């Protein structure tokens, strides 16, 4: 019995040390991913400058193209898939809410202006309306599939 307990203790200690090593590795990967994400914007700007296009126009073109792609993706969805699509849209909007909250509370960030807070608040309001409306639409769509009660 004592040997079994000692074996369990050894296994628990090995698992704890493995978990600590994995946590440290995850921190390293997260730091590297953050560094890569920070490096991506200057690369895009450099590519835009190299092609002779203003970075603002470059990013505006990407934004406009994403609007068209989003429009065609949403309107080509069959009605049976509309409810799962609304759920995914609500999840995306919740990520936007997190980003908007960061923008609203950007006092300590470098280069934060009053415009940052205003646009963050506008994004927060619009994303919140989108989430609330999405839940209403989803509830209504699910109500269409419920059997009607007999009176």
Cα dihedral 57/59/62/68 (nearest 10): -70
Name 21's Cβ contacts closer than 8 Å, sequence gap at least 6: none
pLDDT along the chain (151 residues), means of 10: 66 57 54 57 64 81 89 76 70 84 76 82 90 81 77 65
The pTM of this model reads: 0.45
C-alpha 106/C-alpha 81 separation (Å) is 38
pLDDT value for 64: 92
pLDDT value for 109: 63
C-alpha 23/C-alpha 63 separation (Å) is 36
pLDDT value for 65: 92
**Burial class of 117 by CB neighbour count within 10 A (0 to 12, 13 to 18, 19+):** middle
pLDDT value for 139: 80
């Amino acid at each position: 019995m004592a040997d079994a307990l000692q074996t369990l203790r050894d296994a628990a200690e090995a698992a704890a040390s493995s978990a600590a090593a994995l946590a440290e590795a995850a921190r390293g990967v997260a730091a590297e991913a953050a560094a890569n994400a920070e490096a991506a914007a200057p690369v895009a700007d450099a590519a835009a400058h190299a092609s002779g296009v203003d970075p603002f126009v470059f990013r505006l073109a990407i934004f406009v193209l994403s609007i068209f792609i989003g429009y065609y993706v949403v309107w080509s969805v069959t009605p049976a898939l509309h409810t799962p699509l609304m759920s995914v849209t609500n999840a995306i909007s919740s990520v936007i809410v997190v980003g908007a909250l960061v923008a609203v509370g950007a006092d300590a960030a470098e280069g934060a202006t009053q415009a940052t807070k205003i646009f963050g608040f506008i994004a927060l309001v619009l994303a919140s309306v989108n989430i609330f409306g999405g839940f209403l639409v989803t509830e209504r769509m699910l109500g269409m599939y419920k059997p009607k009660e007999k009176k």
